[in-house]
Structure 1
Amino acid sequence: MASTLTIQCIRPGGGAYVVDGGRPESRHLGVTSGGPADGRAMRAANHLLNRSATATCLEMTLAAGEWLLSGKGQIAMTGADMNWRLNGQLIYPHSVLYIDGDALLTGTTTRRGMRSYLAIRGDWDLPTRLGSRETGLPGIPAVSQGWSARISAQGEAPFQSDLETNRFWPEEVTVLPAIPGPEFALLSAEVRKWLLKTPFLVDRDSNRQGIRLKAGSLPPEAIPSLISSPVLPGTVQLSPVGPILLGPNAQTVGGYPRALLVADSDALSAAFQQGIDEEIRFNLVAAGYLSFTSSN
């Protein structure tokens, strides 16, 4: 049986975005790849509702906001712990919730993690650009107070077992497996050692474009002079003030050395759940450089 659910933004919280699979095939046009900051959490939400892994969701950053749900449908919440409540009642994330009528979805500032995901079963009636409905593309309105979307579904999702919540929490120290970037060999041995041995902290000046990492002063003469070159989400650029781990809204070219490239998409997702001043480390996994990491 068909059902329709409307979601309206009463208050967007710390930052809300419509996300889907993005448009990685358009990077040659200078368009950012997009997609979720935590692909694991979005896939989990869609899995619970028997949707495509890249189906449209809402990504909330740092704070939950307030959302009015009207109609009939199924929703699922995953990702950061934002103390979500439905009509004032605490709800269990990583499970399917049924809406019938009007319901107020609220939460708080995150207690663990940085980004939470709301999936609603059905097709989201939103404009599409370059095959994506994501916030930030021309002609697609930002998610702000008064924003709304209508979601239509044919039938209910079949039963899904609740996901193991702890699988989707970041570890206290996220160690990211990485391979050498194109300019890794141009860096001095001192700088390479610094990159691989330092416990970096997430700077508050971080967003979907990239995570700025801080750890005191860089070694002297750390940054070679380069022309701008292509970059991707997961690239670790070495800037004069520290490394930058690029994310889904990263630019398509950059002028800083591409020191490393995160080698695992789930690890990259975990990094974008790390809170301000939480640690991120890099571990070189390319076989040719293992002797360097073990001897330094």
Structure 2
Amino acid sequence: MAGTLSLHCIHPGGGAFVVDAGRPNLRALGIARGGAADPLARADANRLLGRATTATCLELTLTGGRWLFSGQGQIVLTGADFGWRLNGQPADTYSVVFLDGDYLLSGSQARHGLRGYLAINGNWDLPSAQGSVEEGLPGIPPIQKGWNVRIPWEREAAYRLDLPVPAPTTSSPLRVFPGPEWDTLPADWQRHLLQTSFRVARDSNRQGIRLESTSGHLPAPLPAAQRSLLSSPVLPGTVQLTPSGPILLGPTAQTVGGYPRVLVLATVEDHSQAFQTGLSASLAFQLVTTTP
């Protein structure tokens, strides 16, 4: 059995991105790695369809938007709870949904989490650059109203409902390792980073999460020599200490930076939790000195 499912964007919601494995081997050329902001939710969606965990899918941010399906195929929805509805009826999440005909998928503002994932069985017919269909390089348009893609498939995935729906994002501290410049920080700044609850700023995005201190007292400014350094390599999951506060770098962050790299997320679970934390919600760090 084979078929084709087409997807048409009526409204991209708070932000829609095609994500895949990204371009991890091109950082030396200044090209961001990319990939999913929540790798675990993306992997769950693809796993249910029997696809590679990094296979192409949609990442939706803040609100689900409105999408029109036409044809025949299979989809999976994971990640943030957007109150998804198919043709006005509640849509199943974390399970394979078979479509045959025309369907309107709509999602509201996230009830829990921040980013949702839509995986569709088959091969996404999209332009590619440097081994990835993610935007960021010439020739790959961003998703906006009117964007569409055809997804032909040859193998139907077995119906599965064996992945538990994760609990809503918790407020447990993010586990972090010391960054390259951690030992150069004054002790009061080290204490501040580990004992403060930070607020996720509203201008956060896939490039990075800007963290605002909820403490009324800040340590003395860093010496000039520490506030700005020679540009050095940075990776997604790095916490840089900038003059305006810490920034937790995301999948489309720059490849080098000139601010102190003070902390690094310890696990992919911590990365997923961080990038599912809602705007204006709180994040905190817990230092670990050995691999979990």
TMscore range, shorter length:
over 0.9
Amino acid at match of 1:161: L
Kept after mapping to 2: 8 A contact 1:201/1:277: yes
Tell me by how many angstroms 1:162 deviates.
Answer: 3.6
Structure 2 residue ranges without an equivalent (≥5): none
RMSD, aligned α-carbons: 1.3
1:235 pairs with one of 222, 235, 238:
238
Sort the Cα spacing of 1:122 and 1:191 in 2 relative to 1 into closer, same or farther, 3 A: same
Q: Distance in 2 between matches of 1:174 and 1:276?
A: 16
Q: Tell me the SS of whatever aligns to 1:191.
A: helix
Kept after mapping to 2: 8 A contact 1:231/1:251: yes
Aligned counterpart, 1:170: 169
Percent of aligned pairs with the same residue? 55
Amino acid at match of 1:220: A
1:248 pairs with one of 247, 251, 274:
251
Q: TM-score if structure 1 supplies the norm length?
A: 0.94
Q: Distance in 1 between matches of 2:206 and 2:107?
A: 21
Figure out how many residues of one structure are paired with residues of the other and give that number: 286
Q: TM-score if structure 2 supplies the norm length?
A: 0.95
Aligned counterpart, 1:194: 192
Kept after mapping to 2: 8 A contact 1:174/1:279: no
Kept after mapping to 1: 8 A contact 2:239/2:262: yes
Tell me by how many angstroms 1:62 deviates.
Answer: 0.4
1:8-28 deviation per Cα after TM superposition (whole angstroms, max 9, x unaligned): 001111110000111111111
1:52-131 map, 5 Å: 52-131=52-131
1:99-158 deviation per Cα after TM superposition (whole angstroms, max 9, x unaligned): 101111111111111001000000000011111011222211110011000101112102
1:14-73 deviation per Cα after TM superposition (whole angstroms, max 9, x unaligned): 110000111111111100010000001000000111111000000000011110100000
Tell me by how many angstroms 1:175 deviates.
Answer: 1.3
Which region of structure 1 is more displaced relative to structure 2, 115-124 or 269-278?
Answer: 269-278
Q: Tell me the SS of whatever aligns to 1:108.
A: strand
Tell me by how many angstroms 1:210 deviates.
Answer: 0.3
1:33 matches 2:36 = no
Kept after mapping to 2: 8 A contact 1:174/1:271: no
Q: Distance in 2 between matches of 1:115 and 1:87?
A: 22
1:267 pairs with one of 239, 255, 270:
270
Aligned counterpart, 2:155: 155
Kept after mapping to 2: 8 A contact 1:7/1:69: yes
Q: Distance in 2 between matches of 1:161 and 1:65?
A: 25
Aligned counterpart, 1:209: 207
